C-alpha cells in the first residue's frame, strides 16, 4: 500500500495494520462532471424529501460531517469535520468483509466506498458508494446516542464468530454488486451472480453470530426507522441514500414492526426493496437489543458453546482462560466432561499467548508454530483454582522452579515434569512451563511426551470467553480476509468524454453566473449527439428558469424531457422530481 494518509485525524491514525490494508486513495480527480451532477441531483432530492421524514435536520447534519449538496465530499474535509466529534473516515474499494467493517466502527472510523453510482443507477445501487456511505451514514454521526451505538456495535461485531459460508456469501454479494455497476455487463452473468447470492443465502445452514449481527446492523444502521409505528422517521443510511426507497418505505404496504431481538429472525436481500422495516422508540433501545444478543455470543458465554463455534469457524480465534490468559490460533479439538465442561483444548498451526490483548514475550506464533494444547479445569484435590494460588501456595504443592511435580486434574488428565518457569499477571497464575514433560489423558492416551520439547501449560479453571480473531492482531500479523476482485472502473469513449465536457461547462456556468449565452448551444449538442441523457438538460433548464433566460430553449428542453418520459416510463419519476425542484428550489443554508 502507498504511504498511509491519516489526514491528521487521530482516529484514522490509530487504525491497526490489518485494517489499513483495505484503504484506497480517494483520487478525487477521477470523479467526472457526470459524477458530480449525480451527487448534486441525489442530494437535492434528499433534502427536498428528507427534510420532512429524516430523524435529524439534514443540512446541519451534512455540515457537521463536512458535506455539501453541491459537490462530492473530499476526504480531507470530512476528516477535519468528523474529527471534531471524535470520528474519522477512510475510503475503500466497494464491499469489505463484515468483520472488518465492524472493527472500523469500533475504532470510530467511517468506511466510505470511493466510487459513485452510475447515472442509470441514480435511485439505488446494491453496491456501496460514496452517496450511501457519506450522505447516509455521516450526517447522523453527530447524534451522540447514535454514534455511541455505532461504535459499541463495532466493538461487539469485531468479536463475532463467522463461518466459511459467510465468506462465500460475502464474495457472492460483492461480485453481484460489481457486475450491476458495469454498464455492459452480460445479463446472463448477472443472472448467474444473482442465483449464486440466492444459493448462498439459502444454504448458510445455522446462521453464524456474524450473520445474525449483520441482520441487526441491516435493520438499524442501514434500514432503521425511529419514533412511532404510525409516524416513524428515517435514520438508516440505506434509506437516506436511496431517493427511491426513502419514499416507498413509508407506504402502508411496507410493514412497520417494533425493533426487538426478534429482528435476528429476518434475513434481508440487498437486491430488492425491503418488505418490512423495524422502528425503535429511541437509540437507547438499539443498545439494549444489542446487549441482549451479545449475551448469547461466544465472547460472553465461553465454555462449550464458544469452543464449538470456534471449531466451526475454522479460522483464527482466541480462547480466554479464567486466569485471563488468551490463546489465539485455530481451535481443532475440545474434550468435554459428562457435565459438558471443557477439560482439554487443542489449537493447530501457529498459536500465540497473550494477556490483556498484548502478546506475552516469547510466546508468539513463531515459538508456538506447531500449535498449542492444554488442560482446562481444577486440580483434583484442591478446592482453590490453580490460577488463584500464590507463590507460597504453589511451593506447598511442589510447583517450584527446578522441582519435578505431578499435577492431577479433576478430569483425569495428569501432567508431570520439571518446572522451569511460572508466569503470573495481576496476581493470577497463567502459564507453567515444564521440561521433560508428559501429559496423559484420562483414558491413558499420550497428549504430550518429553521428546517434543518444553511444555507450556495454560492455567485456568474454565474458559470464560471465545472470540473471533487474534488477541494481539498486530503481533499475530493477522491478515483479515480481503477479496481479490476489484470494483469496476470504466474507460470512457470519445462520445462520453464529450458529454463530460458539456456537463462541466454547465457546472461552470451555474457556479460562476456567467456565459449563460452558451447554454442553448450546449443543449443542441445534447439533443444531437447525446439523446439518451436527461440529467444535463434538467441542469440547463434550472439555470434558464432561475435567470428567466432563453425561454425558447427552455420550452424545447421541456418538450425533450416530456418525450423522454413517454418513451422511457422508468425515467418519469426522476425527470418529474428534477422539474419539481426547478420550481421549488431548496435553500442553501
DSSP letters for 68-118? -SSSPPPHHHHHHHHHTTT-EEEEESS---HHHHHHHHHTTEEEEES----
Strands (E), 15-77: none
- As a dihedral over the C-alpha atoms of residue 486, residue 193, residue 238, residue 208, rounded to 10 degrees, the angle is -90
Measured distance CA(214)–CA(227) in Å, rounded: 22
For residue 278, report the phi and psi dihedrals to the nearest 5 degrees.
-110, 140
Could you tell me if 283 and 310 are in contact, meaning their C-beta atoms sit under 8 angstroms apart?
Answer: no
In the block, cell 483464527 appears at 316
C-alpha cell at 363: 510466546
Residue 564's nearest CA partner among 528, 534, 523, 520 is 534
- What span, in angstroms and rounded, lies between the C-alpha atoms of 220 and 216? 6
Which pLDDT does position 476 carry in this prediction? 85
Architecture of domain 10-162+208-291: Orthogonal Bundle (1.10)
CA distance 213 to 59: 31
Q: Grid coordinates standing for 88? A: 474519522
**Centroid of chain to Cα 518:** 46
250: which residues sit within 8 A by CB, 6+ positions away?
53
Residue 218 dihedral angles phi and psi, to the nearest 5°? -60, -45
412: its cell numbers: 483425569
Write b or e for each residue in 505-543: b if 16 or more Cβ atoms lie within 10 A of its Cβ, otherwise e.
bbbebbeeeeebeebbebbeebeeebeebbbbbbbbbbb
Residue 119: how many other CB atoms lie within 10 Å: 18
How far is residue 149 from each of residues 12, 119, 130, 211, 384, measured CA to CA in Å?
Answer: 19, 34, 22, 19, 40
Cell of 279: 422502528
Query: What is the model's pLDDT at position 54?
Result: 85
Task: Provide the 3-class DSSP secondary structure of residue 408.
Answer: strand
Give me the residue spans of the domains in the chain.
10-162+208-291, 298-476, 494-583
pTM: 0.85
Sign of CA dihedral 192, 197, 198, 203: positive
Is residue 55 classed as helix, strand or coil in its secondary structure?
coil
Contacts 24+ apart (CB under 8 A), 362-368: 363/431, 363/456, 364/475, 364/476, 365/329, 365/476, 368/329, 368/456
431: nearest Cα among 353, 329, 517, 548: 353
In residues, how long is the chain? 589
Per-residue pLDDT of the chain (589 residues; tens, 9 = 90+): 456 789 999 999 999 988 998 999 999 999 999 999 999 999 898 888 887 888 877 778 888 888 889 999 999 999 999 999 999 999 998 888 888 888 999 999 999 989 898 888 887 776 778 988 787 888 888 888 998 999 999 999 989 998 777 778 878 887 887 787 777 778 888 888 888 888 887 777 788 999 899 999 999 999 999 999 999 999 998 888 777 788 889 899 999 999 999 999 998 877 778 999 999 999 999 999 999 999 999 999 999 999 999 998 888 999 999 999 999 999 999 999 999 999 999 999 899 999 999 999 999 999 999 999 999 999 998 989 999 999 999 999 999 999 999 999 999 999 999 999 999 999 999 999 999 999 999 999 999 999 999 999 999 999 999 999 999 988 886 555 555 566 667 788 899 999 999 999 999 999 998 899 999 999 999 999 999 999 999 999 999 999 999 999 999 999 999 999 999 999 999 999 999 999 988 765 4
Residue 46 has a pLDDT of: 83
Q: Residue 567: is it exposed, middle or buried by C-beta count within 10 angstroms (0-12/13-18/19+)? A: exposed
**For position 182, what pLDDT does the model report?**
75
562 vs 541: CA distance, rounded Å: 13
Burial of 85 by CB count in 10 Å (0-12 exposed, 13-18 middle, 19+ buried)? middle
Q: Taking a C-beta distance cutoff of 8 angstroms, is the pair 468, 313 a contact?
A: yes
Round to whole Å and give the CA distance between 36 and 125: 17
The string of DSSP letters for 148-198 reads HHHHHHHHHHTT----HHHHHHHHHHHHHHHHHT-TT--HHHHHHHHHHHH
The residue among 493, 491, 516, 496 whose CA lies nearest residue 506 is 516
Task: Spell out the SS3 assignment of 417-471.
Answer: EEEEEEEEECCEEEEEEEEEEEEECCCCCEEECHHHCCEEEECCCCEEEEEECCC
In sequence order, the β-bridge partners of residue 458 are 431
Amino acid at each position: 500500500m502507498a504511504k498511509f494518509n491519516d489526514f491528521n485525524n487521530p482516529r484514522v491514525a490509530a487504525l491497526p495494520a490489518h485494517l489499513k490494508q483495505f484503504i484506497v486513495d480517494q483520487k478525487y480527480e477521477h470523479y467526472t462532471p457526470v459524477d458530480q451532477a449525480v451527487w448534486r441531483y441525489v442530494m437535492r432530492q434528499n433534502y427536498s424529501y428528507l427534510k420532512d421524514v429524516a430523524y435529524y435536520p439534514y443540512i446541519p447534519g451534512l455540515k457537521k460531517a463536512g458535506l455539501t449538496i453541491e459537490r462530492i465530499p473530499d476526504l480531507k474535509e470530512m476528516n477535519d469535520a468528523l474529527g471534531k466529534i471524535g470520528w474519522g473516515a477512510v475510503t475503500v474499494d466497494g464491499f469489505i468483509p463484515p468483520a472488518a467493517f465492524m472493527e472500523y466502527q469500533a475504532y470510530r472510523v467511517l468506511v466510505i466506498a470511493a466510487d459513485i453510482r452510475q447515472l442509470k443507477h441514480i435511485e439505488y445501487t446494491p453496491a456501496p458508494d460514496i452517496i450511501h456511505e457519506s450522505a447516509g451514514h455521516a450526517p447522523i454521526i453527530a447524534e451522540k446516542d447514535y454514534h455511541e451505538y455505532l461504535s459499541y456495535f463495532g466493538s461487539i461485531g469485531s468479536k463475532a464468530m463467522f463461518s466459511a459460508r459467510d465468506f462465500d456469501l460475502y464474495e457472492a454479494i460483492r461480485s453481484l454488486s460489481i457486475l450491476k455497476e458495469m454498464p455492459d455487463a452480460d445479463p446472463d452473468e448477472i443472472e448467474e451472480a444473482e442465483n449464486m447470492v440466492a444459493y448462498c443465502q439459502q444454504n448458510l445452514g445455522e446462521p453464524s453470530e456474524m450473520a445474525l449481527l449483520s441482520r441487526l446492523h441491516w435493520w438499524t444502521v442501514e434500514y432503521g426507522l425511529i419514533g412511532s409505528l404510525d409516524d416513524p422517521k428515517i435514520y438508516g443510511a440505506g434509506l437516506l441514500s436511496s431517493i427511491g426507497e426513502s419514499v416507498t418505505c413509508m407506504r402502508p404496504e411496507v410493514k412497520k414492526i417494533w425493533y426487538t431481538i426478534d429482528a435476528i429472525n429476518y434475513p434481508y436481500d440487498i437486491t430488492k426493496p425491503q418488505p418490512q422495516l423495524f422502528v425503535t422508540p429511541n437509540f437507547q433501545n438499539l443498545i439494549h437489543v444489542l446487549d441482549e444478543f451479545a449475551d448469547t455470543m461466544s465472547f460472553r458465554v465461553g465454555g462449550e458453546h464458544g469452543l464449538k463455534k470456534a471449531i466451526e469457524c475454522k479460522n483464527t480465534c482466541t480462547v480466554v482462560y479464567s486466569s485471563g490468559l488468551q490463546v489465539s490460533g485455530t481451535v481443532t479439538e475440545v474434550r468435554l466432561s459428562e457435565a459438558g465442561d471443557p477439560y482439554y483444548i487443542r489449537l493447530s498451526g501457529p498459536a500465540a499467548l497473550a494477556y490483556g490483548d498484548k502478546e506475552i514475550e516469547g510466546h508468539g506464533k513463531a515459538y508456538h508454530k506447531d500449535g498449542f494444547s492444554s488442560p482446562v479445569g481444577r486440580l483434583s484435590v484442591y478446592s482453590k483454582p490453580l490460577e488463584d494460588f500464590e507463590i507460597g501456595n504453589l511451593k506447598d504443592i511442589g510447583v517450584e522452579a527446578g522441582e519435578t511435580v505431578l499435577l492431577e486434574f479433576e478430569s483425569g488428565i495428569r501432567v508431570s515434569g520439571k518446572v522451569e518457569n511460572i508466569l503470573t499477571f495481576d496476581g493470577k497464575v497463567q502459564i507453567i512451563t515444564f521440561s521433560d514433560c508428559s501429559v496423559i489423558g484420562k483414558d491413558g492416551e499420550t497428549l504430550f511426551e518429553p521428546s517434543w520439547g518444553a511444555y507450556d501449560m495454560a492455567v485456568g479453571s474454565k474458559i470464560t470467553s471465545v472470540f473471533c480473531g487474534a488477541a494481539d492482531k498486530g503481533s499475530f500479523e493477522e491478515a483479515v480476509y480481503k477479496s481479490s476482485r476489484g470494483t469496476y472502473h470504466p474507460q470512457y469513449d470519445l462520445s462520453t468524454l464529450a458529454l463530460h465536457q458539456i456537463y462541466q461547462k454547465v457546472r461552470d456556468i451555474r457556479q460562476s453566473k456567467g456565459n449563460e449565452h452558451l447554454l442553448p448551444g450546449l443543449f443542441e449538442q445534447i439533443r444531437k449527439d447525446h439523446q439518451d441523457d436527461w440529467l444535463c438538460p434538467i441542469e440547463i433548464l434550472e439555470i434558464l428558469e432561475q435567470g428567466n433566460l432563453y425561454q425558447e430553449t427552455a420550452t424545447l428542453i421541456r418538450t425533450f424531457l416530456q418525450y423522454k418520459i413517454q418513451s422511457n416510463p422508468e425515467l418519469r419519476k426522476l425527470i418529474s422530481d428534477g422539474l419539481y425542484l426547478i420550481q421549488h428550489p431548496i435553500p442553501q443554508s
